[in-house]
Amino acid sequence: MSVDRHGPDRFLADLAAAGVPGHREGPAIVYTVAPATGSLAGSQIDTAVSLSELQSWPTVVPHWLHFREAIAFPHTNTDTTDCLPGWLRHSRDAGQWDTSAPPARAWLAHVRGALSVATKQNQE
């Protein structure tokens, strides 16, 4: 089985190669990460990225990170475009993209880094 050079299938393959399984769900690919630092360190946090933002992966990286509504950041722009019910997407620039590492490793480091300043709100 061959994997596309670009796009959502390549993103899923890259995640799997990095030891992080993901799956398509509605308009997004969902996977789980554990932040290394911050108030969420060691927690398993579901995150997602829009299929529409993965069309040129890994050449062009997504800008928006999707999290359940309980995940909050001190400074963020949010909306619900391409989000699953109960999720928000947060504007998080990946900055200078490190091409010396496998793309999924660089992406996962970006997501974990963003989560280092996040908190989890109580949902009642």
Is pLDDT above 80 for 121? yes
Is pLDDT above 60 for 124? no
Instruction: Report the pLDDT value the prediction gives residue 52, as an integer from 0 to 100.
Output: 97
Beta bridge partners of 23: 30
Count CB neighbours of 81 within 10 A. 13
Instruction: Report the pLDDT value the prediction gives residue 97, as an integer from 0 to 100.
Output: 76
Give me 98's structure tokens: 């490190």
Instruction: Report the pLDDT value the prediction gives residue 123, as an integer from 0 to 100.
Output: 56
Instruction: Report the pLDDT value the prediction gives residue 96, as an integer from 0 to 100.
Output: 78
What would the pLDDT profile of 13-67 be if each residue is shown by its tens digit? 999 999 999 999 999 999 999 999 999 999 999 999 999 999 999 988 999 999 9
Please tell me which residue, 83 or 76, carries the higher pLDDT value: 83
> Is 79 within 8 Å of 89 (Cβ atoms)?
yes
pTM of the model: 0.91
Give the mean model confidence (pLDDT) for residues 100-104: 88
Task: Provide the pLDDT confidence category of residue 93 given band limits of 50, 70 and 90.
Answer: confident
